[in-house]
Amino acid sequence: MDKEFVIAIVGGTGSMGTALALRLAAPGVRVIIGSREREKAKSVVDSLKDKISGGRLEGDTNQDAVKDAEFVVIAVPYEGHAKIIADLKGQLAGKTLIDAVVPLQKGRPFVPPAGSALLEAQTILAGEAPVIGAMHNISALDLQDTKAPLGDVLVCGDGAEAKDKVMEIIRRIGATPYDAGPAGNAYVVEGITGVLIALNRKYKSKHASVKITGIDQH
């Protein structure tokens, strides 16, 4: 994969977006943080700049953030998911979408009418860009500490080439990706986050994550 790829994070001003931006900027990836408000994106970038050594973070509206990007991460709450994908439709050809969205209602997981957030995005985009699900089960808390060890990342989706590229990005941030199957598996991967939230509540933790064992591939 091109070493100099650009990645936009739609909803990049939130917990997940800022943490992922720090992780990606650490190895020198150019990251554009997207927001519904350009000024908010710029001020979030300013607040993060002293945490990275290079100057590879930028901020813009979601619409403008995706223009230059080869990869577009969707990191908005589920309530805004379908609308944001529909709003971006027409600008995503040639890009790969990385959908990190977990359908949650009051902290509990549910299966949306489309079958999963990933399938919802895929249906809305109708083939304009491959949609790969990833990062659902990793906490922003772990991501934001760029020196903390990361757990495993289950990656699902239908485009083999796109999935390989996303797995490469996940290696780049220091996590271990696993190909967790086709887009049809996304509801399971998204739902695991609901289990992790329950584990956090039960065991008074903040960053439960998944660990795959029994596979000798890395």
Ligand X SMILES: NC(=O)c1ccc[n+]([C@@H]2O[C@H](COP(=O)([O-])OP(=O)(O)OC[C@H]3O[C@@H](n4cnc5c(N)ncnc54)[C@H](OP(=O)(O)O)[C@@H]3O)[C@@H](O)[C@H]2O)c1
Contacts with ligand X, residue ranges (CB under 6 A): 11, 13-17, 35-37, 40, 75-80, 84, 100-102, 104, 135-136, 139-140, 193
Closest to 7 measured CA to CA, from 80, 82, 77, 60: 60
Nearer to ligand X, 45 or 167 (CB): 45
Nearer to ligand X, 29 or 45 (CB): 45
DSSP per-residue codes, 38-91: HHHHHHHHHHHGGG-SS--EEEEEHHHHTTT-SEEEE-S-GGGHHHHHHHHTTS
Nearer to ligand X, 61 or 123 (CB): 61
Minimum CB distance to ligand X, residue 143 (Å): 7
Minimum CB distance to ligand X, residue 89 (Å): 15
Q: How far apart are CA 58 and CA 14, in angstroms?
A: 15
Nearer to ligand X, 21 or 162 (CB): 21
Q: How far apart are CA 201 and CA 28, in angstroms?
A: 35
Minimum CB distance to ligand X, residue 204 (Å): 17
Strand partners, 34: 60
Minimum CB distance to ligand X, residue 216 (Å): 27
